[in-house]
Amino acid sequence: METRKTESDFATARDGTRLSYRLVPGDGAARFVLVHSLAMDKSFWNSTVEALKGAGDVLIFDCRGHGQSGKPQGPYRVEQFADDIADLMDHIGWPAAIVAGASMGGCVSLAFASHHPERTQGLGLFDTTAWYGENAPAAWAERAAKAKNEGLSALVGFQKTRWFGDAFREANPAILDQAVGIFLANELPAYAATCEMLGAADLRAFLHKFAFPCEIRVGSEDYATPPEMAQYLADNIKGSHLEVMEGVRHFSPLEVPSEIAAALLKLRAAA
């Protein structure tokens, strides 16, 4: 099947959900699928795509429940989000790709690699974890309930300090404002269902099975998915490579897109 060089379009997932995507053509030497963070959308990757300077074709998309994609009623499962990637790849004609994600997107990338290993040429795990811990279901359910009861605006202050370091927020108000605007545009039922999905996610059992290149990055100041979680991934994924990015917080693709692009290029070279 030929790859269709479409800029922006919609695909249909196996359950009928419409998925909004953008295919950015590059030099064709590699194929990357990039998965955004919770409550963001495909624009989360714009700076990283620019930093790649055409070194590969890039598929970015709005996860179900986000952006312009369909927002079916929950519950959601991380494996369902992973199957959406497979359906998108089928739609554009990609048998395999390097798959990478940040935060929630990293969990989804792990789920894709776990359930579609034959389609995974490399794995990029940024600011993420395979498991949020024993209290994760309760903690994520609490965040979902706060959003439903008080609105997403009640979470903005909490999110801003988790996303970016103090100096970055002060120096880059436009990036901060754009992230906040995307966050506030989310629909509450879909946001809550995605929170609960992350609380239930546990992909630890698959890590030792991975047999493809894996690059792991985490900010030294990331307290949403701290360096200890990244170290667990590195310790359990054979041959993986971890780098801790000094002074960076949780949204590294927005804060240091050149470093994330460099990690993707390492995967391209190793794939």
Residue 266's nearest CA partner among 132, 164, 125, 142 is 125
Indicate whether 125 pLDDT > 90.
yes
CB 243 within 8 A of CB 219: no
pLDDT in tens, 164-215: 999 999 999 999 999 999 999 999 999 999 999 999 999 999 999 999 999 9
Q: What is the DSSP string of 100-123?
A: EEETHHHHHHHHHHHH-GGGEEEE
Mean predicted confidence (pLDDT) in 78-83: 98
CA dihedral 12→115→72→195, nearest 10 degrees, is: -140
> Which phi and psi angles does 108 have, rounded to 5°?
-65, -40
Residue 5 has pLDDT above 70, yes or no: no
pLDDT at 110 over 50: yes
Q: What is the pLDDT of residues 240-267, one digit of tens each?
A: 999 999 999 999 999 999 999 999 999 9
Contact 223, 162 (CB under 8 A): yes
For residues 35-51, give the mean pLDDT: 98
Query: Is there a cis peptide before residue 75, judged by omega within 30 degrees of 0?
Result: yes
- The whole-chain average pLDDT of the chain stands at 96
Q: What is the mean pLDDT of residues 71-78?
A: 97
pLDDT at 6: 47
Q: State residue 175's pLDDT score.
A: 98
CB contact burial 257-266 (16+ within 10 A = b; e otherwise): bebbbebbbb
pLDDT more than 90, % of the chain = 97
Whether the pLDDT of residue 42 is over 70: the answer is yes
Predicted confidence band of residue 22 (pLDDT cuts 50, 70, 90): very high
- Among residues 233, 224, 104, which one has the least CA distance to residue 165? 224
Q: Could you tell me which of 121, 102, 125 has the C-alpha nearest to residue 31? A: 121
First to last CA, the chain: 21
Domains of the chain: residue spans and CATH:
8-270 (3.40.50.1820)
Distances (CA, A) of 102 to 24, 129, 228: 19, 10, 16
